Amino acid sequence: MIKFEEAFEIVQNAANRTLKTERVHFTDSMGRILAEDIFSDINMPPFDKSAMDGFACRKQDINNELEMIEVLQAGSIPKNKVGENQCIKIMTGAIIPEGADCVLMVEYTEETPDGKVRYTKRSTNSNICYFAEDIKKGGLVLTKGIEIKPQHIAVMASVGAVLPLVSMKPRIGIISTGDELVEPEYIPASSQIRNSNGYQLIAQVVRAGVLPHYYGITEDTREATFNVITKALNECDIVLLTGGVSMGAFDFVPEIMIETGVDIKFRSIAVQPGKPTIFGTFQENTFIFGLPGNPVSSYTQFELLVRPLISKLMNNCHLPKSIKIPMGVEYTRRKSERKSFIPITISPDGKVYPVEYHGSAHIHSYVFADGIVSIEIGKEKLEIGELVDVRQI
């Protein structure tokens, strides 16, 4: 049994090659991982630009009555130069005319009886967005490895990066094992349980932005298990096995993994929940997890180990972030020989409260959870007000 941090390192280091890349239309790139740096092909702003609707003039003239010599729309070229005690009525986004070094906000101006413009305040900002102040032509605007969000789509649009290079998605296979499992549409007999883990994993994979392949519930025999693992290893980049809760169902899985050619890297982790988590590699580029049969364990180990592997394979530079938030209550545990992960909610006033949690089979404990908090080995208590790392889910 190894520590969680070691398990995490083993999984991350196993992913020593990243997936291939492909070009997609930028409008289809939401949630993908950018696989190239993107540079601007233009200056932004492309000229000194008015930040306001108002009157462009010389700063030294703002306390004088000004003669309006032109009206300037955005998208038009100024015809005149602004001289002493002159101004040009200007719209937001229009080019600052030569001679002017500020824009008086229209709200603080008035017309004099003889049709001149008078500023009603004593001082002004320049109210100019200067040439290339946001970005210079050739400047780096987006870096390799980011997960593409709406604001990045806007940046791509603004620099004409219409076919960005992104990482391909891993193929992920999900195999459910255990003769006691029945699919959700059936009513389980007394010794049976419905397959909830398989579908939870499918949804977790979908949330990670990847389309999973579900291999169904495999019959609890060595032959069927060998065949489905072999098939999945050859078709996928990552294979997830999820068992029923019975040991029986999972007994021979590590042995069969070895028979299929898997190099098992670890068989259990000093964590709660998720101790019986198996990880192995196949022909260097394929990864297999035997996830615990309990739904909370399976959920947690997917988020903590599998999802960061998916990110690493796609060369995503941002692993899911934790946030430090204070505990709203004291929390104690009786045993501290494993690192534990507990479901929590975050209250409106920004404090962490553990939710009712009966252990790794307690599928409902995560229904209202906002995140997961970890408690280190040897630590029995989280104090009120103590800052804890919250992994939001």
DSSP at 108: G
Tokens at residue 316, please? 């995503």
Beta strands 339-346; 271-272: pairing state: parallel
- Distance of closest approach, residue 358 Cβ to a copy of itself, in angstroms: 6
Q: Binding to a copy of itself (CB under 8 A): which residues in 277-336?
A: 293, 295, 299, 321, 323-325
Euclidean distance between CA atoms 27 and 95, whole angstroms: 30
- Distance of closest approach, residue 179 Cβ to a copy of itself, in angstroms: 7
- Distance of closest approach, residue 16 Cβ to a copy of itself, in angstroms: 25
How far are the Cα atoms of 11, 34, 169, 175, 230 from residue 236, in angstroms, in the given order? 17, 22, 11, 12, 10
**Which position among 123, 151, 223, 378 is part of the footprint of a copy of itself (CB under 8 A)?**
151
Residue 152 interacts with a copy of itself (CB under 8 A)? Answer: yes
Q: Binding to a copy of itself (CB under 8 A): which residues in 108-147?
A: 129, 133-135, 141-142, 146
Contact 289, 278 (CB under 8 A): yes
- Distance of closest approach, residue 168 Cβ to a copy of itself, in angstroms: 20
Question: In this complex, which beta carbon is closest to a copy of itself, that of residue 56 or of residue 141?
Answer: 141
Cα 369 to chain centroid distance, Å, stands at 18
**Which position among 22, 23, 30, 353 is part of the footprint of a copy of itself (CB under 8 A)?**
30
**Which position among 13, 27, 120, 234 is part of the footprint of a copy of itself (CB under 8 A)?**
27
Main-chain phi, psi angles of 387, to 5 degrees: -80, 125
Q: Which residues pair with 240 in a beta bridge?
A: 174, 289
Euclidean distance between CA atoms 312 and 18, whole angstroms: 7
Residue 44 interacts with a copy of itself (CB under 8 A)? Answer: yes
Question: In this complex, which beta carbon is closest to a copy of itself, that of residue 43 or of residue 64?
Answer: 43
Neighbour count for residue 329 (Cβ, 10 Å): 12
Euclidean distance between CA atoms 45 and 25, whole angstroms: 25
- Distance of closest approach, residue 153 Cβ to a copy of itself, in angstroms: 4
- Which residue from 99, 128, 251, 246 is spatially nearest to 179, judged by alpha carbons? 246
Question: In this complex, which beta carbon is closest to a copy of itself, that of residue 110 or of residue 349?
Answer: 349
Q: Binding to a copy of itself (CB under 8 A): which residues in 163-182?
A: 179-180
Question: In this complex, which beta carbon is closest to a copy of itself, that of residue 174 or of residue 313?
Answer: 174
Tokens at residue 333, please? 């545990």
Question: In this complex, which beta carbon is closest to a copy of itself, that of residue 281 or of residue 315?
Answer: 315
Number of residues that bind a copy of itself (CB under 8 A): 97
Angle at 200 between CA 217 and CA 34, to 5 degrees: 115
Residue 364 interacts with a copy of itself (CB under 8 A)? Answer: yes
Main-chain phi, psi angles of 206, to 5 degrees: -60, -45
Q: Binding to a copy of itself (CB under 8 A): which residues in 48-107?
A: 49, 51, 53, 73-77, 91-95
- Distance of closest approach, residue 334 Cβ to a copy of itself, in angstroms: 8
Q: Binding to a copy of itself (CB under 8 A): which residues in 197-256?
A: 197-204, 206-207, 244-249
Euclidean distance between CA atoms 234 and 63, whole angstroms: 78
Question: In this complex, which beta carbon is closest to a copy of itself, that of residue 257 or of residue 390?
Answer: 390
Residue 268 interacts with a copy of itself (CB under 8 A)? Answer: no
**Which position among 117, 193, 257, 342 is part of the footprint of a copy of itself (CB under 8 A)?**
193
Residue 153 interacts with a copy of itself (CB under 8 A)? Answer: yes
Neighbour count for residue 202 (Cβ, 10 Å): 17
